[in-house]
Structure 1
Amino acid sequence: MGLLPEDRTTPYVRPFTFTGLDYFGPVSITIGRRTEKRWVALFTCLSIRAIHLEVAYDLSTDACILAMRNFMNRRGVPKRIRTDNGKNFVGVAGEVARFVDVFDCQALQAELSTKGVEWVFNCPENPSEGGVWERMVQCVKKVLRHTLKDLAPKEHTFQSLLIEAENIVNSRPLTHLPITPQQEEPLTPNHFLLGCANTAQTTSCSEPPVKLCAIRKQWRIARQLRDRFWKRWVDEYLPTLTRRTKWCMPTKPLGIGDLVFICDPKLPRREWRRGRVLRVFPGKDGEIRRAEVTTITGLTYRPVSKLAVLDLVNGESDSIHGGGGVAN
């Protein structure tokens, strides 16, 4: 199991400095007497796991750019945005075929480059590489499923539901819940966004009146609270990310020239394509994470988790395929 990227483990940065982006939908809404489809762009902070939801009116490049601009105007310009590879982060291939201009990568990169934002694509056919935002999509879908059910709300109602869902997900605890009343409340993403858990704050009649203080002193108190939240994040939340419970034993890495099956869960095993590894791409830890494979239909990139190596001795593959050709 590889190490987490620095985007997940960098403390003391502004929320949404490192952001993941994904789409989900469509969701039906009511406009007049007709129903239309809308999609939701989910932005998640890779450090504090907060989310921001924007409505995308269709699957065009312009709608995606508008969602990004709205997000940046409200949450600030991120340093790096990570998404699934190309059109795959939409997740609805049937709907993609209906649009001619679907996520023009060059147009999106040009828009982001003017703001100094780096855009990183994950490896194709590797949803686990974006599990940090896939998990957030599941949380939002669960909230909307209980709220919407089979209804098609009006557009302004749908906007309000998304804001409610955003607050509910951002109010979830990141650290362990307290056992005794003396322990501090758990950290939530709203602590970093708002400075509190965004719950009802009812003052007690027995509390002494708050004395007025200088603005400079209040600014220092706010900064101390921010640093306190980050210290708890480092001490309580960050250690939970460093545990490695799977794939602890070393195995033989994928090599150039290996004959492999390209695993595709959508096809029966007898229809899996065969290919030969041309290049391998190690991660920062030196382990092979993805590879370039040549098949009878051309070149493709896949993660090593989707490649099954054929256990053949030297020369056996040539005799099977007649001189090293790749069969489908």
Structure 2
Amino acid sequence: MAELPAARITAAQPFSSTGVDYWGPILLKPPHRRAAPTKAYVAVFVCFATKAVHIELVSDLSTAKFIEALRRFVSRRGLCNEIYSDNGRNFVGAANELRQIVRSKDHQQTIARDCAENGNRWHFNPPRASHFGGLWEAAIASAQKHFVRVLGTHTLAYDSMETLLAQIECCLNSRPLVPLSDESTDLEVLTPGHFLTGAALKAVPDIDVTDIPFNRLRQWQQIQKMFQQLWKRWHLEYLSTLQSRSKWCNPPVPIRKNQLVVIKDENSPPMSWPIGRIIELHPGDDGTTRVVTLQTPTGRYTRPVSKICLLPISSAAEKLNSTPTHCKHVNM
């Protein structure tokens, strides 16, 4: 595996280096009952440095529609210095049209000088090399898999689908990354939303409608039910990626006091990540810690280590990156 490119570790601002890809098609509710459902696609923009996600709904795969989605994205997130994508025809066409606009003599006088001189640099992956775009492919997999399962055979109108995708985008950008500090009294974590708004993203409080049948809910409640079902699936899957499960022949992941953790709670509402800091360890007879006491904003709780997820920190990273202890062969 090659080293990370410079765009992955240095960025002047969020989305200055961006990867983009599509998923779909998805079916939208037609304007008339007798009309057939219409197809649409979802464009996913991923920031290389902060892993923030931006989602746009696109009506088709034409170059013109992608340029419209790109303009909406730039209007909200800022101009990109570098854009990475695969060799899709719509991406190639968009890159050619933007290059012609920037270099055209008719438009150079109206476009700002910095945009003309520092136009978007578009990078294409080699043909049939989807693994070169693993960053945005992982973001698509995070949302698409559960989105398809939750949506099922239901069809939504265009504006309802935009609402659902915007909530999914906010959900992905609320995930905890690393602790903000090592202070014992600080229970804040860094999220992609901090780079976009300066603070953690929150959801509007809503009642839990996951157990209510669809035919008893209004249209906006049906959207919330889909979002709540997706949240319950996705956030548990994301927390499982934070839990390092080593084999018995390897030493366990070190658990120390003052570490910041995410508490695994299946009933947590959307956009809520219960955070706690380890204040006491309860090791067993073999010296391995399986139970800890946590300090949370609402009090102290005792939880097994299977219900907490350690956030990456420098000391833990050094232990995890060290050479693992190999199993000894035992003659039976």
* TM-score bracket relative to the smaller structure: 0.5 to 0.7
CA distance in 2, matches of 1:109, 1:244: 47
Which residue matches 2:15? 16
Structure 2 residue identity aligned to 1:9: I
Determine whether 1:166 maps to 2:134.
no
Unpaired runs of at least 5, structure 1? 90-101, 203-233, 246-328
Determine whether 1:148 maps to 2:151.
yes
Contact 1:112 1:118 in 2 (8 A): no
Cα 1:41–1:10, aligned 2, differ >3 Å: closer, same or farther?
Answer: same
Match of 1:87 among 86, 89, 92: 89
Alignment root-mean-square deviation, CA: 3.6
CA distance in 2, matches of 1:165, 1:37: 20
CA distance in 2, matches of 1:35, 1:181: 54
Q: Which has the larger radius of gyration?
A: 1
Secondary structure of the 2:178 match is: coil
Which residue matches 2:217? none
Cα 1:244–1:167, aligned 2, differ >3 Å: closer, same or farther?
Answer: farther
Match of 1:69 among 54, 68, 71: 71
CA distance in 2, matches of 1:19, 1:159: 21
Contact 1:31 1:154 in 2 (8 A): yes
Cα 1:79–1:105, aligned 2, differ >3 Å: closer, same or farther?
Answer: closer
CA distance in 2, matches of 1:200, 1:106: 39
CA distance in 2, matches of 1:106, 1:244: 47
Which residue matches 1:122? 125
Unpaired runs of at least 5, structure 2? 104-110, 206-311, 324-332
Determine whether 1:136 maps to 2:135.
no
Which residue matches 2:97? 107
CA distance in 2, matches of 1:50, 1:165: 12
Cα 1:132–1:108, aligned 2, differ >3 Å: closer, same or farther?
Answer: same
Match of 1:50 among 49, 52, 56: 52
CA distance in 2, matches of 1:179, 1:10: 24
CA distance in 1, matches of 2:76, 2:100: 21
Cα 1:81–1:199, aligned 2, differ >3 Å: closer, same or farther?
Answer: same
Secondary structure of the 1:31 match is: coil
Structure 1 residue identity aligned to 2:96: Q
Which residue matches 1:264? none
Structure 2 residue identity aligned to 1:166: E
Structure 1 residue identity aligned to 2:197: L
Cα 1:67–1:184, aligned 2, differ >3 Å: closer, same or farther?
Answer: same
Which residue matches 1:184? 187
CA distance in 1, matches of 2:192, 2:7: 16
Per-residue deviation, 1:244: 11
Match of 1:193 among 187, 196, 204: 196
Report the TM-score, using the length of structure 1 for normalisation.
0.53
Report the TM-score, using the length of structure 2 for normalisation.
0.53
Determine whether 1:25 maps to 2:27.
no
